[in-house]
C-alpha cells in the first residue's frame, strides 16, 4: 500500500466533492480517529491511520486489501467509485433523493431512477450533480448523477429519468465474482 500521489489525490477528491462537497474534510481530518487514503493495485482504500501504519509490516504482494475500498482507477486515470463507499457517501451527502417502495427493486436491479419513483428530493439539486439514493425509510440504496435539476424534475413526465444510476447495493449480488478482485 502506498499513499496517493498529488494527481491521484486531486482526481479522487474531485469525484468525492461531487457527492459530499466540503465534507471531505470530515473524512480525513478527524482528530479522534484520523483516516488516510491508500492505493493497492489501482484500488483506493480508506483506512484508519493506525491500521495503515501496521500494514507497512506486510509485504505488498501478500496484502489483498485494507480498510474500505472507495473505488479504483481506470487504465485512463479516471476514478470510479465503488458501492462499498456508500456508507461514507450517505453519511456526508450533499444532495439526496428518496425513492418510493415501488421504485426500489427496479433501482436495485441496475435501472435509473424515474420521476414516478421519486418520493422526495433535496431542494436546489443542480443538473449533473452527485446524489445519494435512499429508500423512504432512510436506508442508503446507491448513488448516481442527477439528470435534471430539482426545478426541471417537477415538470417531467412520470417515465422520464431523474437520476442516472452509478452504483447500487444490488451490485453485491450481481457482481460478487468481480467486486473485490
Distance CA(99)–CA(111), nearest Å, equals: 13
Decide if 181 is inside a domain.
no
Question: How does pLDDT run along the chain (181 residues), one tens digit per residue?
Answer: 889 999 999 999 999 999 999 888 888 888 888 899 999 888 999 999 888 888 888 887 888 778 899 999 999 989 999 999 999 999 999 999 999 999 999 999 999 999 999 999 999 999 999 999 999 999 999 999 999 999 999 999 999 999 999 999 988 877 777 766 6
pLDDT at 172: 80
State the total domains in the chain.
2
Three-class DSSP category at 156: coil
Q: Which three cell numbers stand for residue 1?
A: 500500500
Distance CA(175)–CA(177), nearest Å, equals: 5
Instruction: Look up the CATH number of the domain holding residue 105.
Output: 2.30.130.10
> What would you report as the CA-atom Rg of the chain, rounded to the nearest whole angstrom?
17
pLDDT at 122: 92
Quick count: other Cβ atoms within 10 Å of Cβ 100? Answer: 13
Q: Is the same domain home to 78 and 102?
A: no
Distance CA(154)–CA(148), nearest Å, equals: 9
Q: Is the same domain home to 22 and 64?
A: yes
**Domain termination residue (choose one: 63, 88, 113):** 88
Q: Is the same domain home to 72 and 107?
A: no
pLDDT at 180: 64
State the pTM of this model. 0.88
pLDDT at 173: 79
Q: 169 exposed, middle or buried (CB, 10 Å; 0-12, 13-18, 19+)?
A: middle
Domain hosting 74: range is: 2-88
Q: For residue 63, give the DSSP letter.
A: -
Q: Is the same domain home to 115 and 151?
A: yes
Q: Is the same domain home to 99 and 80?
A: no
Amino acid at each position: 500500500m502506498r499513499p496517493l500521489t498529488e494527481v491521484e489525490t486531486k482526481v479522487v477528491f474531485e469525484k468525492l466533492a461531487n457527492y459530499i462537497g466540503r465534507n471531505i474534510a470530515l473524512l480525513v481530518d478527524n482528530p479522534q480517529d484520523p483516516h488516510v487514503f491508500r492505493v493497492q493495485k489501482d484500488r483506493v482504500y480508506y483506512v484508519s491511520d493506525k491500521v495503515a501504519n501496521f500494514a507497512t509490516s506486510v509485504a505488498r504482494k501478500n496484502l489483498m486489501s485494507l480498510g474500505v475500498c472507495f473505488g479504483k482507477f481506470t487504465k485512463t486515470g479516471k476514478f470510479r467509485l465503488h458501492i462499498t463507499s456508500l456508507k461514507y457517501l450517505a453519511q456526508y451527502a450533499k444532495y439526496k433523493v428518496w425513492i418510493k417502495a415501488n421504485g426500489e427493486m427496479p433501482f436495485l436491479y441496475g435501472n435509473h431512477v424515474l420521476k414516478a419513483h421519486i418520493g422526495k428530493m433535496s431542494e436546489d439539486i443542480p443538473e449533473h450533480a452527485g446524489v445519494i439514493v435512499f429508500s423512504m425509510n432512510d436506508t442508503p440504496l446507491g448513488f448516481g448523477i442527477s439528470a435534471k435539476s430539482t426545478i426541471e424534475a417537477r415538470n417531467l413526465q412520470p417515465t422520464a429519468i431523474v437520476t442516472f444510476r452509478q452504483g447500487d447495493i444490488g451490485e453485491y449480488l450481481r457482481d460478487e465474482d468481480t467486486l473485490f478482485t
